[in-house]
Amino acid sequence: MARASWNMNYEKSLVDILHEHNNPRFRGQNGWIPEGWRSITQMFNEKFPLAQFSKAQIQEKEKELKANYKLIKEARKQSGAGWNDSLGMINALPPIWDRIIKNHPKMKKFQSKPFPLYNQLELLYQGSCATGDLNFTSTQQLAPVQQVSNPQDDAVNEAVSSFRNDDLELDSGLNPSSSNVQRHAVSSTHADLGTNDRTPASSDCREDSHGRKCKQNQIAGVLEDFLQFKKEQSNKFISEVNQPSNERSKEEYSIGKCVAILESMEDLSEEEMAKALGVFKCEENREIFMTTKRARVRLLWLRDEINKQVLSPRVSGV
């Protein structure tokens, strides 16, 4: 099979087309069916008439993209490895990168090369996974969910629904320090929810003939922990939003990040790369370079700026 000449625009368009065919008509449990691949190939070649890739070539590229996605996904699990969503690159100190490459040798090329299709591929291969901030497991079968009256927060209502179990009880003889659910009162939760029409916790929480605490006390404790967790998340988000824009700009458009992308541009000669470093002395140039997503446009702009930099001394001397 002849090797196809791919570029970033081709790859992004292919992923978009794969998303369009990500439905039962074209895709089964083990991947796209023959009808799906025929349609994908036809749509791609209609969009790029000069490419004229075969079905096998497009299948090979999809296989490569999937392998790269899985590789980066595994590498991100390395302790100390961060992720820059805007660049599509792993952020890590040299010792962390050494461990990543040792465990995943093929990751070496992604140390300085971005992979901007990661999020789109994650949606394509992982789908919409249900995740939650608060999850509970129980060996007992859950009873039908009961609706909470006058909910103040949809997330709290979801937490109560997932936790409520008519048969779930906590032994009153347990040490309070060994469980979060036994150390809170129902009244404290009502105060957080902004309600005051309930009786004190003592009237809600009784003991049955077996000396067991009623389930209201359990739910109250979990809700209070959950509310505190959501409050901390909100405060963190507000703090990030209120961060001075100039600080965020310096971090997002740093010289280091510009150089990382610069070194991944195969169409630039080493001489051009060296001259481009002077372009990055200007913060405005760094921002333009980083926010330009189309590789070809970014390359043309950078070469134009390099030429301006070379010509400017001559112009000033005229």
- For the segment 201-221, what is each residue's pLDDT rounded down to a tens digit? 444 444 454 455 555 666 777
Count of the separate structural domains present in the chain: 3
Q: What is the pLDDT of residue 182?
A: 39
One domain, residues 30 and 116 = yes
One domain, residues 231 and 267 = no
Residue 109: pLDDT above 80? yes
Averaged pLDDT for residues 211-240: 69
Residue 135: pLDDT above 50? no
Residue 11: pLDDT above 60? yes
Which of the listed residues 239, 262, 295 is the one where a domain comes to its end? 239
For the chain, the maximum distance between any two Cα atoms, rounded to a whole number of angstroms, is 101
- Report yes or no on 37 lying in a domain: yes
Asked if 101 contacts 157 with a C-beta cutoff of 8 angstroms, the reply is no
One domain, residues 192 and 270 = no
Averaged pLDDT for residues 51-68: 94
Alpha-carbon gap, residue 201 to 220, rounded angstroms: 10
Name the band, by pLDDT with cuts 50, 70 and 90, for residue 250: low
Q: What is the pLDDT of residue 285?
A: 87
Instruction: Lowest mean pLDDT of 178-192, 226-240, 298-312, name the range.
Output: 178-192
Residue 38: pLDDT above 90? yes
One domain, residues 119 and 182 = no
Residue 229: pLDDT above 60? yes
Residue 41: pLDDT above 80? yes
One domain, residues 38 and 110 = yes
Residue 133: pLDDT above 70? no
Residue 294: pLDDT above 90? no
- Name the residue with higher pLDDT: 62 or 256: 62
For the beta carbon of residue 217, count every other beta carbon within 10 angstroms.
22
Q: State the angle between helix axes of 55-75 and 118-126 in degrees (0 to 180), rounded to the nearest 10.
A: 100
Residue 145: pLDDT above 50? no
Residue 31 Rama label (left phi>0; alpha psi -120 to 50; beta): left
List pLDDT tens digits, range 110-130.
999 999 999 999 999 986 333
Residue 56: pLDDT above 80? yes
Name the band, by pLDDT with cuts 50, 70 and 90, for residue 222: confident
Q: What is the pLDDT of residue 224?
A: 77
- Report yes or no on 137 lying in a domain: no
List the domain range (segments joined by +) for residue 26. 8-126
Alpha-carbon gap, residue 299 to 278, rounded angstroms: 15
What's 255-295 look like in SS3? HHHHHHHHHCCCCCCHHHHHHHHHHCCCHHHHHHHHHCCCH
How far CA 16 is from CA of 57, 104, 117, 301, in Å, comes to 17, 28, 10, 26
Alpha-carbon gap, residue 266 to 273, rounded angstroms: 10
Which of the listed residues 239, 269, 294 is the one where a domain comes to its end? 239
Name the band, by pLDDT with cuts 50, 70 and 90, for residue 247: low
Residue 65: pLDDT above 60? yes
Instruction: Please give the model's pTM, rounded to 2 decimal places.
Output: 0.42
Which of the listed residues 212, 239, 266 is the one where a domain comes to its end? 239
